[in-house]
A and B are shown apart, each in its own frame.
Chain A
């Protein structure tokens, strides 16, 4: 009884699903941009041809959908959907293996990489097609004859389809995650050591007068950092050019490892230039270069 119920309703479910995805692919405005992210481009070697193939697939899906919805008791549309689903699976498998970062273009929406959800969706099309091929009674007749069971089955399958469509996450997944945070608490509790991250020390340095003073010398980004003798050392590379004799130097800043932008806006920072050839500190009047007053 329930097997024949599923068989008789499969054309309706699959027809609506394929009509939706088919219409988005065939008539969607962003299909060209969408096609550009798919593995089709690489296979066909041409973005325009990939768009054409994607649109043609959409038209094919629409045709199968039309067949499923209008002539549910003939096995042909069901078999066509089965072939379509198997084709999708093969395409996804190929794309996943050869270009793991490419988009599948499955629903003609977002262009994220291929996920397990895409495989489940394609599998459902194949299974749905096989089921639909076994329909003996038209879906409209089935709904009239057995309304309660029909609605229950339709709701259940729709829920599964929603779950495997990332486009609909905001409807159920995000609220579910919110609830989980409320029930189980925030998973990112502050650590026991309140150590100031190096990035915060760099941020403090870059807003300091020491940084402004050393800016003409510094050429690199942060090269190394360590803590010693109560200071946090931040190492940069630079070029010191006192009177036309440029020489490579290491620019070393030492900051208080406990200070951040939140705790001080007037940090004391040690600045040292060290000649890279001699490893001797360079006597440089960095502050002399600053405008006074």
Chain B
């Protein structure tokens, strides 16, 4: 935990929120969570969002909060991480969790010097359509196209959704043969995927 979301900061924010928050009720519309990394950018009336830029590549170097990202075509982009940047790597993490070699998808604002100040960064995020081929206590055997792969079940992190229901940590309804969508974080070390969310029957 860094200073920006340390316990003291949490306490301060909590008391500010409980003091005089607007309470809003009722329904509908989009998101900025991990799913949003794959959604087509929605037209927005907010000028800040319409000027967002997207960067997709591998982290080549990390220097004091600046990531040197190499895109697929070989071009380098500098990504600045700030206190206001959200970083996802299976869960919400801090900048220290980003490593050289990680795949990265970032949304942010173009700076005059050509770098990108990131609003949100998703690290090693993958979105796969798979078939469940085996179920064990700590992992699922999956097939993706012709390839076999391993999906790790991470305690308190892996969630499932069945037939459009809410996300739950109860995975007991998974069955061999189920077709599923897996949102997760790829682990470069052993080429497996840590499962954030597995959706069945959508």
| Distance to closest chain A CB from B63 (angstroms) | 22
Q: Are B133 and A223 in contact (CB under 8 A)?
A: no
Q: Which residues of A contact B134 (CB under 8 A)?
A: 173-174, 177
Q: Which residues of A contact B17 (CB under 8 A)?
A: 231, 233, 252, 254, 270, 272, 274, 281
Interface residues as binary, B49-93 with A (CB distance below 8 Å gives 1, 0 otherwise) = 100000000000000000000000000000000011110100110
A197 within 8 A of B: yes
Interface residues as binary, A267-293 with B (CB distance below 8 Å gives 1, 0 otherwise) = 111111010100111001011000000
B113 within 8 A of A: no
Q: Are A197 and B147 in contact (CB under 8 A)?
A: no
Q: Are A268 and B166 in contact (CB under 8 A)?
A: no
Answer whether A220 and B86 are a contact pair too, CB < 8 Å, given A204-B166, A270-B21, A279-B12.
yes
Q: Which residues of A contact B29 (CB under 8 A)?
A: 206-207, 211-212, 215
| Distance to closest chain B CB from A88 (angstroms) | 21
Answer whether A224 and B5 are a contact pair too, CB < 8 Å, given A177-B141, A197-B159, A279-B12.
yes
Q: Which residues of B contact A276 (CB under 8 A)?
A: 83-84
Q: Which residues of B contact A286 (CB under 8 A)?
A: 22, 24
Q: Are B26 and A221 in contact (CB under 8 A)?
A: no
A67 to B27, CA, bound (A): 73
Q: Which residues of B contact A2 (CB under 8 A)?
A: none
Q: Which of A101, A173, A178, A223: most chain B Cβ within 10 A?
A: A223
Q: How many residues of A contact B (CB 8 A)?
A: 84
Interface residues as binary, A192-221 with B (CB distance below 8 Å gives 1, 0 otherwise) = 001101111011101111111101101111
Q: How many residues of B contact A (CB 8 A)?
A: 69
A261 within 8 A of B: yes
B128 within 8 A of A: no
Closest residue on chain B to residue A249 by CB atoms: B84
A225 within 8 A of B: yes
> 24 A-B Cβ contacts within 8 A?
A101-B191, A112-B147, A170-B133, A174-B133, A177-B176, A186-B174, A187-B137, A197-B156, A209-B24, A215-B30, A215-B46, A216-B45, A220-B32, A220-B86, A221-B92, A225-B92, A231-B18, A233-B14, A235-B5, A236-B86, A252-B16, A263-B166, A270-B17, A270-B23
> Which residues of A are interface residues toward B (Cβ below 8 A)?
100-101, 109-113, 166-167, 169-170, 173-174, 177-178, 181, 186-191, 194-195, 197-200, 202-204, 206-213, 215-216, 218-226, 228-229, 231, 233, 235-239, 241, 248, 250, 252, 254, 260-263, 265-272, 274, 276, 279-281, 284, 286-287
Apart from A200-B166, A231-B17, A261-B165, what are 17 other A-B pairs with CB-CB below 8 Å? A112-B148, A170-B133, A190-B172, A206-B29, A219-B48, A221-B34, A221-B119, A223-B5, A226-B10, A229-B14, A237-B84, A265-B27, A269-B24, A270-B22, A270-B23, A274-B16, A281-B17
The 6 A-B pairs at the shortest CB distance, nearest first, are namely A237-B84, A221-B86, A260-B166, A210-B24, A270-B21, A206-B31
